[in-house]
Amino acid sequence: MSPTHKERTTLGSIKAGSVVEVMSVSTVNRRLCNKLLTMGIVAGTIIDVLSVAPLGDPIKIKAKGYHLSLRIAEAEHVHVRPVAQPEHRAA
Amino acid sequence: MAVTPAEGIPKSDSASLPVVILAGNPNSGKTTVFNALTGLHYKVANYPGVTVERKESELTLGEQRVKLVDLPGIYHFGGHSLDEQIATAALLGTVKGASHPNLVVCVLDASNLERNLYLASQLIDAQIPLILALNMIDLAERHGVSVKVELLSRKLGIAVIPLCAAQGKGMRELGDAILKALAEKPVAPRTGAWIPESCCYHKVAMQQGSAYRLKHNYQGPVSDLLLGSSILSASLTDHRGQLRAADEACVKELAQDGIDPLSFEATERYRWINKLIKETTSKQDTAAKRRSDRLDAIITHKFWGTLVFAVIMFTIFQAIFLWSSYPTDLIDRMVQLIGNWVGGLMSDGILKSLLVDGVIAGVGSVLVFIPQIAVLFFFLGILEDSGYLSRAAFLMDRIMRKFGLQGRAFIPLLSSFACAIPGIMSTRTIPSFSDRLATILIAPLMSCSARLPVYTLLIAAFIPSQMLWGIVSLQGVVLLSMYVLGVAAAAVISWILKKTLLRGEPTIFVMEMPVFRRPALIAVMRDVWDRIVLFIRSAGTVILAISLLLWFLATFPRGDVEHTFAGRIGQILEPVIQPLGYNWEIGVGLLASFAAREVFVSSLSTVYNVQDNDSGYHSLLEVLQNKHAAGSFTLATALSLMVFYVFACQCMSTLAVCRRETGSWKWPLVMFTYMTTLAYICAFITYRLALNFWG
């Protein structure tokens, strides 16, 4: 289960329809980090990338059972790894 | 941004009543719970010194009178926006002059329990007497979430009341639970057994025995996230040194264990919540949930979502103009009847002139526009309550960003179409100050309901009421283009502002999109009513006062209108406004409407009625139509005037709110200057162009 380094990527580059697991949130931008964490984007959270707004940004995701929108630039602060879909559906 | 401690909440008999605070996440239906508890009997006021809205009500539960306070929704303690800071301070009783809460009722969205429990866990750790209200339990069940309420209550050690506030279900039980809790002061055991001793702010706070009472100017250091301590730390100015030492020790300790202090609290809280959720709730897929998700997917779809958005916006504008025209006509006719009736009862003279031309004409022509205001606020309420507004913000974010704004600015700007004052006040939900300021400065460019009287009057008088392609009203199109003009200018201005005066930190756009739900009509109607009452109140005081002043200026000294005070002022102004196509009568109206725009209609009607030698009330519309036919008031002048009203900052209240929200006279001055300049230039261009085309 432990991800290889290659598998790690950011939420900003995930296509709509994919499911990922949060590995960590970058602490470079403290305010953003704080916001993401308190909204439930913490290590271990499963994220469904639902859709993309008209001009390709922001994106809409589902995490902890609710919908959240964030900009691509913000999503790039969230390190994620892909999750096999059936595993998530069961969860 | 430090919160100014609120001073001097008036003490009254009610000061001794137990205070119950409703807290909860945005979209948890907190306000619906408040409305259901109070039966819509409440007062809206601001926290003293700041303009965060505070809804307050006194109610009787059993034998007990209590004071119920509704706070702005927050996701967690602390935070950057003023709303968040005030709400946190109120919960901890650090708002000076306000008593600290005897009980907090934390309203949770049952369909979204996991994230909603975050705030609850912080409240638990702050050791405030607490009960939980699980709102929208029916929606949760329909969406396949079932909560073992009793088990949850037992695990937490405090009362948990399932509710469906929109239908009034569970409200009795909530009332009983509040009464019981006021007597028993239930405090749940802390969730934070995971917190290292050394970084326990609570310990410091509790030692001092006055955690709730301390000032909150503390600029929290790195770990102010720890232990939900953003506020506790913020409330402990007196212990700054101690805290910093404890804090540094704590960060060091965590770092030694390879723990990132910033994500520590959140991760640990969600771990605690996760465990609790697993034990007490179960989830399954339901048809209703799938339907809601599918609808949501359409509404936020690149193409279909944009189409739906455009249709909704267009419907609103057509509705304001077409649907509300029937009640508007009715009121108009009634005011005329009253004017004629009063005129018939009295003999000619000063008093009759005062009543008919001053009072009735002045206030009457403002009352006429209530239907439009009601329709607009009704639509806004529905959009907000259904959860659509956040979808709109999502759709609009990329476009708004082009102009230096963000999707969240969309809601305040849309509200500004009704009135810039609530619009400017709702910019508090924008955490970045420079984004907020840019939004405030362009908010008055959105055509507010006070301009509607001017637009509708001029459109009705000068634009033929014909249909384009058989379905679209030409008058509606002209009205819409006034709105579009304001929006376009706003886009340009905010882009310039963000490149020059307001270059600032990048924005955060992490925004919840609540589940679509049926809007609570009663709450929406109550809000519409609140707005109408506010409008009538201002029509009854400010506008009446100005109408009377104008009547005085236009009546004295007795004789020809040109020689009255108003006429003289208008004539002095005339050289300045002549290039825009305005005569001195319009000059009088413009001058008057710098107090408030809607005054233009009443003052013009006062000026024209006084000019007319016939007795009785004349519909301003008829007067204008006659003047149009006679060629003394042209289409070019009307268009130029509408454009002037799109841009001019003719609202003292807006300037006052801007002053209060930005904390200095600098920004209202910037606002007034750029808007007036813009208005003059654009009205001039419009007049010249219109003369060329139709003149």
Residue B233, chain A, CB below 8 Å: the answer is no
Amino acid B693: pLDDT: 83
Give mean pLDDT, residues B329-335.
83
Measured between beta carbons, the chain A residues lying within 8 angstroms of B114 are: 40, 64-66
Measured between beta carbons, the chain A residues lying within 8 angstroms of B407 are: 58, 69
- What domains are there in chain A, each with its CATH number? 14-90 (2.30.30.90)
Omega before B5 cis (within 30°)? no
Measured between beta carbons, the chain A residues lying within 8 angstroms of B296 are: 67
Closest to B490 in 3D by CA, of B441, B454, B536, B431: B441
Q: What is the mean pLDDT of chain A?
A: 84
Specify the range with the lowest mean pLDDT, choosing from B267-276, B326-335, B670-679. B326-335
Amino acid A81: pLDDT: 92
Measured between beta carbons, the chain A residues lying within 8 angstroms of B511 are: 68-70
What burial letters (b/e) apply to B535-571, b meaning 16+ CB within 10 Å? bbebbeebbbebbbbbbebbbeeeeebeebbbbebbe
3-state DSSP: chain B helix, strand, coil percent, rounded to 5? 65, 10, 25
Are A71 and B397 within 8 A, CB to CB?
A: yes
Residue A16, chain B, CB below 8 Å: the answer is no
d(CA B211, CA B91): 12
Residues 6+ apart with CB under 8 A from B42: B34, B35, B55, B56, B57, B70
Amino acid B403: pLDDT: 82
Q: How far is A41 from chain B (nearest CA, A)?
A: 9
Residues 6+ apart with CB under 8 A from B79: B85, B88, B230, B431
Give mean pLDDT, residues B18-35.
90
- The sign of the dihedral angle between the CA atoms of B668, B83, B35, B7 is negative
Residue A38, chain B, CB below 8 Å: the answer is yes
Residues 6+ apart with CB under 8 A from B628: B461, B462, B634, B635, B638
- Out of A37, A52, A66, the one facing B512 most closely (by C-beta) is A66
Q: How far is B197 from chain A (nearest CA, A)?
A: 22
- Out of B394, B397, B508, the one facing A32 most closely (by C-beta) is B508
- What domains are there in chain B, each with its CATH number? 1-284 (3.40.50.300)
Amino acid A85: pLDDT: 63
Residue A50, chain B, CB below 8 Å: the answer is yes
Are B508 and A40 within 8 A, CB to CB?
A: no
Q: Name the residue of chain A whose CA is nearest to B140's CA.
A: A65
Tens digits of residue pLDDT in B103-158: 999 999 998 999 999 999 888 877 789 999 999 999 899 989 999 999 999 999 99
Using the predicted structure, report yes or no on whether residue B101 has a pLDDT greater than 50: yes
Residue B307, chain A, CB below 8 Å: the answer is no
Q: How far is B300 from chain A (nearest CA, A)?
A: 7
Amino acid B94: pLDDT: 66
- The sign of the dihedral angle between the CA atoms of B201, B205, B211, B215 is negative
Measured between beta carbons, the chain A residues lying within 8 angstroms of B259 are: none
d(CA B583, CA B659): 33
Using the predicted structure, report yes or no on whether residue A30 has a pLDDT greater than 70: yes
Are A58 and B76 within 8 A, CB to CB?
A: no
Give mean pLDDT, residues B206-228.
35
Give mean pLDDT, residues B168-192.
87
Using the predicted structure, report yes or no on whether residue B271 has a pLDDT greater than 60: yes
Q: Please give the distance of CA B468 from its chain centroid, rounded to a whole number.
A: 35
- Out of A24, A39, A53, the one facing B115 most closely (by C-beta) is A39
Share of chain B above pLDDT 90, in %: 19
Residues 6+ apart with CB under 8 A from A84: none
Q: Got the DSSP string for chain A?
A: -PPPGGG-EEGGGPPTT-EEEEEEE--SSHHHHHHHHHTT--TT-EEEEEEE-TTS-SEEEEETTEEEEE-HHHHTTEEEEE--HHHHHH-
Amino acid at B257: D
Are B296 and A70 within 8 A, CB to CB?
A: no
Using the predicted structure, report yes or no on whether residue B200 has a pLDDT greater than 60: no
Measured between beta carbons, the chain B residues lying within 8 angstroms of A23 are: none
- Out of A27, A40, A66, the one facing B262 most closely (by C-beta) is A27
Tens digits of residue pLDDT in A43-65: 999 999 998 988 888 999 999 98
Q: What is the mean pLDDT of chain B?
A: 78
**What separation in angstroms does the CA of B162 have from each of B72, B106, B146, B589?**
22, 12, 11, 57
Closest to B166 in 3D by CA, of B31, B346, B269, B278: B31
d(CA B410, CA B392): 8
Amino acid B240: pLDDT: 55
B-contacting residues in A 59-88 (Cβ below 8 Å): 60, 64-71, 73-74
Tens digits of residue pLDDT in B360-391: 877 776 676 677 768 877 887 888 888 888 88
